[in-house]
Amino acid sequence: MNNEFILEMNHISKTFPGVKALEDVQLKVRKGTVHALMGENGAGKSTLMKILIGIQPADAGGELIYKGKPVTIQSTNDALGMGISMIHQELSPIPHMTIAENIFLGRESTKGKTFWVDDEEMNRKAVELFKQLDIELDPRKKMKELSIANTQMVEIAKAISYNSELIIMDEPTSAITEKEVNHLFTIIRGLREKGVSIIYISHKMDEIFRISDDITVFRDGQYVTTKRADELDNNKLISLMVGRELKAMFPKEEVPIGEVLMEVKNFTRKGYFEDVSFQVRRGEILGFAGLMGAGRTEVMEALFGVTQKDAGEVYVEGKKIEIKTPKDAIANKLALLTEDRKLTGCFLPLSIRDNIAVASIDKYRSGLLINPKKINDECGAASKKLNVKTPSLDQLIKNLSGGNQQKVLIARWLQTDPDILIIDEPTRGIDVGAKSEIHKLMSALAKQGKAVIMVSSELPEILGMSDRVIVMHNGKIKGELDRSEATQERVMEYAIG
Amino acid sequence: MKADNVAQKNSRDFKEILGQFMNKYAIFLVLVLMVIILSIISPTFLRSRNLLNVVRQISMIAIIAMGVTFIIITGGIDLSSGSVVALSGVVAASVVTGGKYPVIVGILVGMAVGSLAGGIAGWIITRQNIPAFISTLGMMISARGAALLYTDGKPVTGFTPGFEYIAGGYILGVPTPIYILAIVTVVSHILLKHTKFGKYVYAIGGNYNAAIVSGINAKNIVLKVYMFAGLLTGLTGVILASRLSAGQPTAAVGYELDAIAAATIGGVSHSGGIGTIPGTIVGALIMGVLNNGLDLMNVSAYWQQIIKGIIIVSAVVMDKKRNR
């Protein structure tokens, strides 16, 4: 029984100024198992993993037992030395270094006992590693040349290359396709057979049930329970995570579909997408499905004037319009919520108020100056309407959870009074509770007679929310399915090409 | 069909290789082009005496620029080089004046002072989490003050021939500073390209957090980078004191900007993670050749400044275009 657990973390707490991120939590990982760590965003999973890997210290009083012995881990080096490695949630390549240099960063091979780093030896070791893992990449390539999916595969290979006995995987599949997920799972099963233990964090339920042996649930920085995976199912797990039953995962309301609001004809941007034509009607939620890199985001960006199309026409209410810049798009009552909140959505160092006001700033002017009362009242009302959880409009957006940030961004675009809302990955990286709120909101917007175009890589979301699904593959539309005919299998069939 | 594919592939490979070559050596080609043009315009330009003179003139800026290259690759900046050159110069001068101590002691003391100044700036950056711009701005002002205080604002003179030889001597007809430059170049290049330390310098500038989670002690590396740059700055202080036959507390004003300019023209990216020592040397040479060429063509010093500014910005614009 002593040796059953490779890792025991007991009574771990972590206090940030003003916030208790973890309160007396525990995590016990059995040797040679895949242990899923579940919880909504902000539940404290990543914080606990940062403590385990030595990025952040825990409050005093906790206990860490690794391979039967109490240990302290004060830096990532300590953890790596003990045989604990981690695939980090945020991809962290060093763009101008080669794949091999990235993988062996911090433990470079040298020629004999000299200081001279042996690049060839590192390349050779990387080739060997890739062969083991069945990955086809040239280790001499620079990281910046890789696709996001391949970057993630390199991160995975890197974590494995430490020959660790415990590997933490924080959202390892956030950027890879189904095929690569299967590949990863094959690798994980192989590791498990060798006695390696894995802590697996993911928001994707189906993955959890496919791969994990045990599941530990956190909620609001507290430990809830640990169960064998076969004791749970989707609904039970969700209710443990949110502490309530989520009755309607997808609160899609039936709305009468109205007139054609926008029509896109033969839209083309060379090298990105080709001959894309579709219509969207009032009251409709139109889903765009496809694998990563299918060109969906690129179509939306060109439609919104972020990039320039090479050919094609856009009609709004039967009238041909010309969109060259996002300003034109906004004037034609389009709105675009981009897929990467941090990169192209939020102004992180600015307040909620300024983040809401930025796309509709003219509304709050009196003469040349911004009228503080106007901007406060309007943005306050918008924030309240979308149920943004914050004590004050002065709160900086970077301090909000992903779900609340997304609500602020929706508020921003609703202030421009759009007819056509394009939402790219509406709920990526958002916890279950907030997800449902966003879905309700989309449904409500459709009900008001707006047209909603949703790009999503999550099949359940596509199937649950869309009135109609367009599937893209390799820059082209491969198929169109009505809500009634759209099934997981049919969408995937088109998506694969 | 198959042969077609192969031919297509070959031509693509060729284009790719040419592209990579251009990418890597564009700045080098610019230098070659400048040399060719100048040698056509001015017959004196290609004379070995003139060329050696160009290299000797850039040697001090180039030595500083190599340290600055390390710093900028980590994502930092150093505004203190000029002042630290003056400070380490006057301290070194005071040690050897009148033959008090042997020349080598003067050299070592100068390098130690530079390294200490770099260490203080680096300590403030890494341990107090102050941006490099602020920390080295403070060092720039304080080091100048320290140099003036130490000398009471007067030059330190009275060197032995041995000390004068550092900047004024010749070996096999080549000025000694060029040998110093060559040694520093080789050492810096190996340090940056072929040691773990160098890899970590690139890693820290490329992605600081990734370096940390790979188990690299980034703060220590950054501190060492500033100390190394300080060391080279101190060495430059010694060379300058020798060249001027005096430790001048008011000397070397603006050297930091010339060094940053050389590194920048040489392709060192201010967003971190990119840059090479050969690039920086070429950058320094371009500045030297430009000065020399414009001098030979009797272009006024005022115009030279305007042109230098344009060249620096153009180099970065070109870099951006190539990296897109």
Alpha carbon distances (Å) from B44 to B38, B48, B54, B284: 9, 9, 12, 21
Tell me, yes or no, whether A129 lies in a domain. Answer: no
Asked whether the predicted pLDDT for residue B323 surpasses 80, the reply is: no
For residues A353 and A403, state if they share a domain. yes
CB of A496 within 8 Å of a chain B CB? The answer is: no
- Give CA–CA dist B252/B232, Å, rounded: 14
Mean pLDDT of A309-324: 94
pLDDT at A246: 45
Contact: A105, B195; criterion CB under 8 Å: no
pLDDT in tens, A24-79: 999 999 999 999 999 876 688 988 999 999 989 999 999 999 999 999 999 998 99
For residues A270 and A156, state if they share a domain. no
Structure tokens at B201: 């310098």
For residues A218 and A337, state if they share a domain. no
Asked whether the predicted pLDDT for residue B1 surpasses 50, the reply is: no
- Give CA–CA dist B160/B138, Å, rounded: 34
pLDDT in tens, B242-299: 999 999 999 999 999 999 999 999 999 999 999 999 999 999 999 999 999 999 889 9
Mean pLDDT of A86-93: 81
Closest CA relative to residue A24, chosen from A69, A60, A66, A57: A60
Contacts of B225 (CB under 8 A, 6+ apart): B70, B71, B74, B76, B122, B201
More confident residue, B2 or A264: A264
For residues A272 and A224, state if they share a domain. no
For residues A89 and A174, state if they share a domain. yes
CB-nearest partner of B199 from A55, A93, A117: A117
Residue A330 belongs to a domain with what CATH number?
Answer: 3.40.50.300
- Give CA–CA dist A422/A359, Å, rounded: 15
For residues A273 and A354, state if they share a domain. yes
| Biggest CA pair distance of chain B | 83
Structure tokens at A51: 């403590």
Q: Which of A92, A102, A109 to mutate to test the interface with B (most CBs of B within 10 A)?
A: A92
CB-nearest partner of B207 from A80, A92, A106: A92
| Paired strand residues for A36 | A200, A215
Contacts of A191 (CB under 8 A, 6+ apart): A160, A167, A198
- Give CA–CA dist B200/B193, Å, rounded: 10
Using left for φ > 0, alpha for ψ between -120 and 50, and beta otherwise, residue A54 falls in: left
Å between A81 CA and nearest CA of chain B:
9
Mean pLDDT of B220-239: 98
CB-nearest partner of B273 from A76, A95, A110: A95
Q: How many CA atoms lie within 13 A of B200 on its CB side?
A: 20
CB of A52 within 8 Å of a chain B CB? The answer is: no
Mean pLDDT of chain A: 90
Q: The tokens 């930092």 sit on which residue?
A: B76
Q: Which of A215, A242, A269 is the last residue of a domain?
A: A242
pLDDT at A253: 85
Structure tokens at A90: 């945020």
Tell me, yes or no, whether A164 lies in a domain. Answer: yes
CA angle A51, A53, A59 (to 5 degrees): 20
Contact: A117, B195; criterion CB under 8 Å: yes
For residues A299 and A225, state if they share a domain. no
- Give CA–CA dist A396/B168, Å, rounded: 60
| Dihedral angle of Cα A434, A437, A443, A445, to the nearest 10 degrees | -100
- Which of A199-203, A380-384, A493-497 ranks highest by mean pLDDT? A380-384
Contacts of B183 (CB under 8 A, 6+ apart): none
pLDDT at A1: 40
CB of A55 within 8 Å of a chain B CB? The answer is: yes
- Give CA–CA dist A420/B9, Å, rounded: 45
Alpha carbon distances (Å) from B38 to A103, A410, B44: 47, 61, 9
pLDDT at B106: 96
| Biggest CA pair distance of chain A | 76
More confident residue, A241 or B250: B250
- Give CA–CA dist B205/A68, Å, rounded: 39
Å between A420 CA and nearest CA of chain B:
33
Instruction: Say if residues B194 and A122 touch (Cβ distance below 8 Å).
Output: no
DSSP A58: P
pLDDT at A202: 85
E-only strand ranges, B106-250: 170-171, 174-175
CB of A120 within 8 Å of a chain B CB? The answer is: no
Mean pLDDT of A417-440: 88
Q: Which of A242, A275, A303 is the last residue of a domain?
A: A242
In A, which residues are within 8 Å of B214 by CB distance? 76, 105-106
Structure tokens at A259: 């007139």
Contacts of A178 (CB under 8 A, 6+ apart): A291, A492
Tell me, yes or no, whether A60 lies in a domain. Answer: yes
Contact residues of B toward A, CB < 8 A = 194-196, 198-200, 202-203, 206-207, 209-217, 273-274
Q: Which of A73, A91, A94, A97 to mutate to test the interface with B (most CBs of B within 10 A)?
A: A94
Domain count of the fold of chain A: 2
For residues A446 and A311, state if they share a domain. yes
DSSP A351: B
In B, which residues are within 8 Å of A110 by CB distance? 196
pLDDT at A2: 44
Is the pTM higher than 0.80? The answer reads no
Tell me, yes or no, whether A291 lies in a domain. Answer: yes
Structure tokens at B95: 């040690």
CB-nearest partner of A92 from B202, B210, B273: B210
Alpha carbon distances (Å) from A87 to A383, B236, B237: 36, 45, 47
pLDDT in tens, B78-128: 999 999 999 999 999 999 998 889 999 999 999 999 999 999 999 999 999
User: Domain segments of chain B: what residues?
Assistant: 46-323
Tell me, yes or no, whether A130 lies in a domain. Answer: no
- Which of A33-47, B15-29, B191-205, B291-305 ranks highest by mean pLDDT? B191-205
Closest CA relative to residue A157, chosen from A179, A172, A142, A140: A172
Backbone angles phi, psi at A275, to 5 degrees: 55, 50
For residues A283 and A331, state if they share a domain. yes
Domain that holds residue A179: 2-93+146-242
Closest CA relative to residue A417, chosen from A311, A312, A309, A334: A334
For residues A21 and A64, state if they share a domain. yes
Mean pLDDT of chain B: 92
For residues A74 and A165, state if they share a domain. yes
pLDDT in tens, A99-157: 999 999 989 999 888 899 999 999 999 999 999 999 999 999 999 888 888 888 899 89
Q: Where do the H-state alpha helices sit in B214-254? A: 218-244
Of A367-376, B58-67, B144-153, the range with the lowest mean pLDDT is: A367-376
More confident residue, A403 or B257: B257
Contact: A108, B214; criterion CB under 8 Å: no
pLDDT in tens, A458-482: 788 898 999 999 999 889 999 999 9
Q: Is ipTM beyond 0.85?
A: no
Q: Angle, nearest 10°, between helix axes B277-296 and B176-194?
A: 150
Topology of B46-323 in CATH? ABC transporter involved in vitamin B12 uptake, BtuC (1.10.3470)
B213 → chain A, closest CA residue? A76
For residues A214 and A285, state if they share a domain. no
